[in-house]
Amino acid sequence: TTGTTQLIVNADLTKGTISKHIYGHFAEHLGRCIYEGLWVGPESPIPNTDGIRNDVLAALKKLNIPVLRWPGGCFADEYHWKDGVGPNENRKRMVNTHWGGVVENNHFGTHEFMRLCELLECEPYICGNVGSGTVQEMSEWVEYMTFGGESPMSNWRQKNGRTEPWELTYFGVGNENWGCGGNMRPEYYADLYRRYQTYVRNYDGNKLYKIAGGANIDDYKWTEVLMREAGTMMDGLSLHYYTIPGDFWLGKGSALDFTEDEWFITLKRALHMDELITKHGQIMDQYDPEKRVGLIVDEWGTWFDVEPGTNPGFLYQQNSIRDALVAAVHFNIFHNHNDRVHMANIAQMVNVLQAMILTEGDRFILTPTYHVFEMYSVHQDAERVELAAHTRDYVAKDEAIPAVNATASRNAEGVLHISLCQLDHEQGDTVEIDLRGIGAISGVSARILTADHLNAHNTFEQPDLVSPQDHDVTVTEDGKLVLDVPAMSVITIAVR
């Protein structure tokens, strides 16, 4: 059976710019994200550029990545940046206590990260250490990176091979300081935030965008206290929310071995992001009605049980068409909140949680999530336009969510892009799109990512099982678009 859905797109009713930073990423010293996934070192037989693997780099470049958050996560509040600069043989080895208790040799440090950003042509977003670091250490890191004049840190950077300072905008003052970042109360962290950020200086005209460590999920008190006590001293406040079908402690659920009910509950929980942004946003509105302070969703995505047989501390999970839908749902929500959500960073880039890329030795595969990032990249920095969806309910377990979820934007060249996703795992829809406020249509094209079973995914043996294909769209005589939106699908249409 097929349902029917109608979309009305008002192409001339613009709703503000969709910041490209919503398409940001996150790479932590965790499992095989940095080491193996991104960094193999210059001596590796795996082809690389200054230690960064070429295959992964080339694939990531196609996503037009705007910004990359590093070095954590929980790792950030245990990271001592000075251990990661200078000759390798002098770099301290440490234990990565959060993530598997493995030895961190610090071969990937500030210079290597900045080189990665340069190669990806993205902006760095550095997260400093509040939990176990000093004010001086944080202050000196910023001096090291951004000061061009004569100073101890600037001189040291130059001695380590980098003459010019780097450009750095995004700087996080700690991570999850309610938990792994120090188990603090919001009142205490708010004071620490005020203190630490004082010494995070703007050197040489470099203007930092300071991000305070924000709430976990629905901890509205955290947002309230931070905005009240420190709102005027920050540019952004973060929010972390992961999509977990099960229970964080009792069993999150498998990435591949799951039921139809788990499919439904996963998407329902992904949709919960909308309520979280709305409610945190309402609190922020009380202190910042102009919406100057961005809500920075710098960790989001699916979190499942690790793949059987892998290190539980490495958070390695497969990625299926279900993940693709979770990603699409998030983008649609972020677009709708483009006045408050100034940046978002999926967790994480390679081999960890909802990754773009999975690697095994010198091999790599692109995940369904990667393909959604690629298909949605057309919305980066485009003007969101009004879209109304009249869709049916997708019902399971006596609960309902909308079957089709969509978003639309117009880019600088005037091209209108509409992205739709079908959350129903069983039934598709015939979708009719009524386009308003648009001149004569000169061309329509579309691509689809879909599958015929719940856990369809790519493997090293079959790397292209889930990948985008061209999709048919009919333009009716009165200028409407009509298309099939099959079960479990993500589609992006371009209208010229």
Active-site hit among 78, 104, 140, 299? 299
Residue closer to ligand AHR, measured from CB, 354 or 458: 354
Token code pair at residue 445: 């094209």
Over the window 233 to 252, marking each residue x when it contacts ligand AHR by CB under 6 A and - when it does not, the resulting string is --------------------
Using the rule CB under 6 A, which residue among 3, 24, 72, 253 binds ligand AHR? 72
Using the rule CB under 6 A, is 299 a contact of ligand AHR?
A: yes
Using the rule CB under 6 A, which residue among 31, 51, 73, 468 binds ligand AHR? 73
CA 323 distance to own-chain centroid: 13
Count Cβ atoms within 10 A of the Cβ of residue 474 and give its class: 0-12 exposed, 13-18 middle, 19 or more buried: exposed
CA dist list (Å): 432 to 107, 381, 395, 423, 478? 54, 26, 22, 17, 12
CA 317 distance to own-chain centroid: 16
In the complex, residue closest to ligand AHR by CB: 73
CB of 52 to ligand AHR, least distance (A): 21
Residue closer to ligand AHR, measured from CB, 66 or 174: 174
Over the window 86 to 125, marking each residue x when it contacts ligand AHR by CB under 6 A and - when it does not, the resulting string is ----------------------------------------
CB of 144 to ligand AHR, least distance (A): 23
Residue closer to ligand AHR, measured from CB, 237 or 435: 237
Interface with ligand AHR in residues 303-362 (CB under 6 A)? 347-348, 353
Active site residue 307: no
Active site residue 299: yes
> Of the ranges 55-63, 71-79, 397-405, 467-475, which one interacts with ligand AHR (CB under 6 A)?
71-79
Residue closer to ligand AHR, measured from CB, 330 or 384: 330
CB of 42 to ligand AHR, least distance (A): 27
Using the rule CB under 6 A, is 143 a contact of ligand AHR?
A: no
Angle, in degrees to the nearest 10, between helices 152-159 and 135-146? 60
CB of 175 to ligand AHR, least distance (A): 5
What string of H, E and C letters represents the secondary structure of the chain? CEEEEEEEEEEEEEEEECCHHHHEEECCCCCCCCECCCECCCCCCCCEECCEEHHHHHHHHCCCCCEEEECCCHHHHHCCHHHHCCCHHHCCCEEECCCCCEEECCCCCHHHHHHHHHHHCCEEEEEECCCCCCHHHHHHHHHHHHCCCCCHHHHHHHHCCCCCCCCCCEEEECCCCCCCCCCCCHHHHHHHHHHHHHCCCCCCCCCCEEEEEEEECCCHHHHHHHHHHHHHHCCEEEEEEEECCCECCCECCCCCCCCHHHHHHHHHHHHHHHHHHHHHHHHHHHHCCCCCCEEEEEEEEECCCCCCCCCHHHCCCCCEHHHHHHHHHHHHHHHHCCCCEEEEEEECCECCCCCCEEEECCEEEECHHHHHHHHHHHHCCCEEEEEEEECCEEEECCEEEECEEEEEEECCCCCEEEEEEECCCCCEEEEEEEEECCCCCCCEEEEEEECCCCCCECCCCCCCCCCCEECCCEECCCCCEEEEECCCEEEEEEEC
CB of 315 to ligand AHR, least distance (A): 6
Spell out a b/e string for 165-199, using b for 16 or more CB atoms within 10 Å of the CB, else e. Answer: bbebbbbbbbbbbbebbbebebeebbebbbebbee
Residue closer to ligand AHR, measured from CB, 162 or 280: 280
CB of 303 to ligand AHR, least distance (A): 8
> Of the ranges 66-74, 284-292, 369-377, 406-414, which one interacts with ligand AHR (CB under 6 A)?
66-74
Interface with ligand AHR in residues 160-179 (CB under 6 A)? 175-176
Residue closer to ligand AHR, measured from CB, 78 or 383: 78
CB of 248 to ligand AHR, least distance (A): 10
CB of 180 to ligand AHR, least distance (A): 6
Residue closer to ligand AHR, measured from CB, 33 or 153: 33
CB of 21 to ligand AHR, least distance (A): 18
Using the rule CB under 6 A, is 214 a contact of ligand AHR?
A: no
> Of the ranges 56-64, 70-78, 330-338, 382-390, which one interacts with ligand AHR (CB under 6 A)?
70-78
Using the rule CB under 6 A, is 28 a contact of ligand AHR?
A: yes
- 103 phi and psi angles, rounded to 5 deg: -80, 130
Active-site hit among 176, 262, 374, 383? 176
CB of 72 to ligand AHR, least distance (A): 5
Using the rule CB under 6 A, is 227 a contact of ligand AHR?
A: no
Residue closer to ligand AHR, measured from CB, 127 or 382: 127
Using the rule CB under 6 A, is 78 a contact of ligand AHR?
A: no
Using the rule CB under 6 A, is 131 a contact of ligand AHR?
A: no
> Of the ranges 68-76, 86-94, 138-146, 365-373, which one interacts with ligand AHR (CB under 6 A)?
68-76
Contact indicator for 447, 495 with CB cutoff of 8 Å: no
Using the rule CB under 6 A, is 213 a contact of ligand AHR?
A: no
Catalytic residue numbers, as ranges:
176, 299
Applying CB under 6 A, which residues contact ligand AHR? 28, 72-74, 175-176, 299, 347-348, 353
